[in-house]
Amino acid sequence: MRSSTFLPLFSMLGAFRALSLADDPRTNPAKDNSPNCSCYTVDGGNDTAYFTFHRFWDFRNLSPDHLTSDAWNADWWIQNWTSPASSDSPLERINLVENVGILTGKNGNGTALTLNTYRNNSHTQFTAEIQSMQQNIKHASIRFHARVVGSNGSEASKGACAGLFTWSNDDNESDIEILTQDPLGTIRYTNQPDLDKAGNAIPQASITSTALPPWSLFHTHRIDWLAHATHWFLDDALVAANTYSVPQRPSGIFMNLWGDGGSWTGEMAQGGSAVLVLEWVEAVFNTSGPVKGPGKRAEGKCGVVCRVDGVREIGWPEVYPNSKN
């Protein structure tokens, strides 16, 4: 609900883009949907969950023009909608394409994807949001290696929300939300809707986990969206689980950094800023509905099981030791 204030425009664009650019993830070679793996399994929780597809988006070695490349455009869309200030949202919110960028490390060492937000000296919060072109994900384990800091690597200004989430509509959404007004060890895990029709909080929608490792340092933030439960992990630890309003609709992967001066994000001070820094995103998932394109994978058969956790190199699944060929 908080991720997309401008629903009609947003949905329309989302649907249009998804349809016009429907991308078959299996056309990617090597690690993404390797022919050597017929399905994928993940560690953690108490479910034995198998997934058909695997993608790994590594932002650690990007070229300066990556965000205008075909490879980027095939997989991600940078949003550019605006929402006006209102009584609940005292700040105008403007999603800028240029607020998604590439950060180069010290001495040219490695890159990362950045989502920036800042407030100007009036009542406008400039924000950033991206969504996956793949919008037919249904059940997934999605991992975001990320941190939230200030614009110069210092402490992030209060008044921003970093969202790592799945979304189909405002009632089919699983969130990881880092609020810069929260302590560094606090993260919110929510299945939407978290407000009822009268606008009152639904307590079982959201779990606030505290005393976690600081979100200002890199950690792996993970959502396992299963049929009857959502599990959230930080690195390898299960930190929240919920069976309330587990999403039922095919969804996309979203990342954003925003604020609107409202009670959820808080109001950023004039001139304040924050940055969501992402080194990589990895997802194993199933899809709902037909998948276009060549090389269709036989569904329902899980001959060679690969694992994505505990592998030698993150992003490179390995055949599970007990897997039969």
* Choices 53-61, 127-135, 211-219, 245-253; region in contact with ligand NAG by CB under 6 A: 245-253
Binding flag, residue 226, ligand NAG (CB under 6 A): yes
Contacts of 189 (CB under 8 A, 6+ apart): 175, 176, 177, 206, 207, 208, 209, 230, 232, 239, 240, 242
Number of chain positions touching ligand NAG (CB under 6 A): 35
Pairing of strands 76-78, 53-58: unpaired
Cβ distance to ligand NAG smaller for residue 63 or 288: 288
Binding mask 60-99 for ligand NAG (x = CB under 6 A): --------------------x-------------------
Instruction: Give CA–CA dist 154/34, Å, rounded.
Output: 40
- b/e map of 146-163 (b: 16 or more CB within 10 Å)? bbbbeeeeeebbbbbbbb
Specify the residue, 123 or 185, whose C-beta has the smaller distance to ligand NAG: 123
What are the backbone angles phi and psi of residue 125, rounded to the nearest 5°? -105, 115
Alpha helix locations (H) across the chain?
Answer: 7-20, 70-75
Q: Does 247 bind ligand NAG (CB under 6 A)?
A: yes
Under the binding rule (CB under 6 A), the answer on residue 152 touching ligand NAG is yes
Examine residue 245 and tell whether it contacts ligand NAG (CB under 6 A).
yes
CB of 152 to ligand NAG, least distance (A): 4
The helix (run of H) or strand (run of E) holding residue 63 is none
- DSSP 8-state assignment for residue 299: T
**Which residues, in sequence order, are CB contacts of 209 under 8 Å at separation 6+?**
186, 187, 188, 189, 232, 234, 239, 240
10-49 mask for ligand NAG (x: CB under 6 A)?
--------------------x---x-x---------xx-x
Toward ligand NAG, which CB reaches closer, 122 or 200? Answer: 122
Residues that bind ligand NAG (CB under 6 A): 30, 34, 36, 46-47, 49-52, 80, 106-107, 109, 120-122, 124, 139, 150, 152, 154, 157, 169, 171-172, 226-227, 229, 245, 247-249, 286, 299-300
